[in-house]
Each structure stands twice: as C-alpha cells, then as structure tokens.
Amino acid sequence: MSSPVQDLSVLHQRREQRLMLALALPALLVILLLVVLPVGWLAWQSVYHNGFTLENYRRIWSEDIYWRSFALTFQISLLVTLLALLLGYPIAYAASIAPKRWGIIILALVVLPFWTSVLVRAYAWLALLQRTGVINQLLRQLGLIDEPLALVHNTFGTVVATLHILLPFMVLPLYATMQQIPRDLMQAGASLGAGPMLTFWRIFFPLSLPGVLAGSTLVFVLALGFYITPELLGGGRTIMISMLVSRNVELYDQWGAASAVGVVLLVAVGAIFFAVSRFIPLDRVLGQK
C-alpha cells in the first residue's frame, strides 16, 4: 500500500506528462502532415503502379546509371567531408582558443556566407573559377599558366563549391565541442611535462572527437542530397543522386523511379545516423547539450 503522499506525487507526474504531450502536439502534427505523410506517399508511390511492384528497386539494383550515380555521390560526399574536416578543424580550434573577441570574429567569418543563398554562391564560384574567371585571369597575368585551367564544369568545381557551402556545418559542431573541453586538463598535462603537441594529441584531440563525428555526419549527409551545385558547376557530367531524381521526373516522367531513388537515399541516411548513434548519443550530433 502506498501512502497518500506518494499518490499525490504520481498524480502530479501524470498531469505534467499530459501537459507535455499537449504542448508537443502542434509540433507533432506539423511533422505528421509535412514529413511523415509525404514520405509515406513517396514510399508508397515507389512500390505501387497498377499493383504492387518492386520494379523500381530492381532497376536501381540492375541498371548501371543508378550504381554510377550512387558511387559518385558517396565519393564526392566523402571527399567533401574529409576536406571540410581538414579545413574546419583548425578554424574551430583557433576560434575556441583565441581571446573571446577574436573567436567571435572567426566564427562570424564562417557563418556570414552561410546566410547567402546557395544559388548565389554557386554563381559566385562560377565567376571565380571559369576560364575567363578571376582565378584564371590572375594566374595568367602572373605568367604562371599559358592556357586557362579547367577549374569548373567538372567534379573539381562541384567539390570546391560544395565544400564552401558545407564548411559551417563542420565548424559549428566542432567549436561547440571544443568550447566544452576544460582547459585545466591541458594545464595538468603540461604540468606533468607534456609539450603542446603531446597535450593536443593525447588530451584535446580525443575529447574533440564527438564534434568531429557530429560535424562529419552533418556534412556527409547534407552533401549526399546536393542538387543545385553539381547541376550548375558539374558541367552536366557530374550526375549526383538528386539530379537522377529530377531527371526521372522531368526527362523520363517516371515518378515511381524517382521516388524509389529518394527512398534509397533516405534509408542510406537513416542507416548512417543509426551507425553514428552507436558511437555517440544522437543528441550530441543534432544539438549540443
């Protein structure tokens, strides 16, 4: 038998839970209407065409174009992620150890382009990288090259622009993680005789790994779905998955096939998140506690 006092607290707890549920309901409804239903419809459309069929998935499995695009998309995404990590880590590190005012300036420089439209940035890269673009002109005037370099309308141009657009998604989680690493640990390491390099590699770097994983996951997953950038800077040859989706709808009029490609991509992203969640709690990827 429980005492009246306990009963009251249980009652209180239940009421609180109900209130929480009521508060969350509008948001859940929005997700249901705008995410769950359309995605469900997408999945349905990929398997239903005058009856249940796996034809669309069989095609993805058996036709070369899908394999090639998936492979290219994963390669580009992986490359962009690695480069973003190589470039982003020092930036985040600098921002976290610099005096506060400098840290803010560094972060602002990273975040400012983030507020510019992806389309505008893609065209800006076109202006920089093309044959008569700023970079080729400069190199020519300096006498470093005779013939303009092919910097754009290929995979190279796609990777550069994608990297630029996604860099903030690497820097911000890294910075957030680094901010939380207690500086005393470094001092303790130093007091035990370790040099700056050793304290960095033995103490700071391992503690920053959750940020590395978080940033890398975000960048990789976002890169998988890139569309405008490869479309504008890829010269037509860099065919990523999202472009296959649009080609299927626009050129081939095959909504089922487009849906199936979307579902496969969604499942791939889900699998990546699941894998990452095995190593670190997902809430550290999606938002710092």
- Positions that interact with other proteins (CB under 8 A): 33-34, 37-38, 41, 44-45, 48-49, 63-65, 68-69, 130-132, 150, 153, 231-232, 235-237, 239, 244, 247, 249-253, 255
Give 162 or 208: the residue with its C-beta nearer to other proteins. 162
Given a contact cutoff of 8 angstroms between Cβ atoms, the answer to whether 241 and 73 are in contact is yes
Q: Per residue in 36-56, is it b (16+ CB within 10 Å) or e — as a string?
A: eeeeeebbebbbeeeeeeeeb
Rounded CA gap, 97 and 132, in Å?
A: 40
Note the Cα 120 to chain centre separation in Å. Answer: 19
Given a contact cutoff of 8 angstroms between Cβ atoms, the answer to whether 165 and 229 are in contact is yes
| Cβ 280 to other proteins shortest distance, Å | 35
Give 12 or 131: the residue with its C-beta nearer to other proteins. 131
Given a contact cutoff of 8 angstroms between Cβ atoms, the answer to whether 88 and 174 are in contact is yes
Give 121 or 247: the residue with its C-beta nearer to other proteins. 247
DSSP state of 237: T
| Cβ 151 to other proteins shortest distance, Å | 11
Give 82 or 126: the residue with its C-beta nearer to other proteins. 126
| Cβ 91 to other proteins shortest distance, Å | 32
| Cβ 143 to other proteins shortest distance, Å | 20
List beta partners, residue 52. Answer: 48
| Cβ 165 to other proteins shortest distance, Å | 19
Given a contact cutoff of 8 angstroms between Cβ atoms, the answer to whether 263 and 42 are in contact is yes
Give 214 or 244: the residue with its C-beta nearer to other proteins. 244
Given a contact cutoff of 8 angstroms between Cβ atoms, the answer to whether 217 and 85 are in contact is no
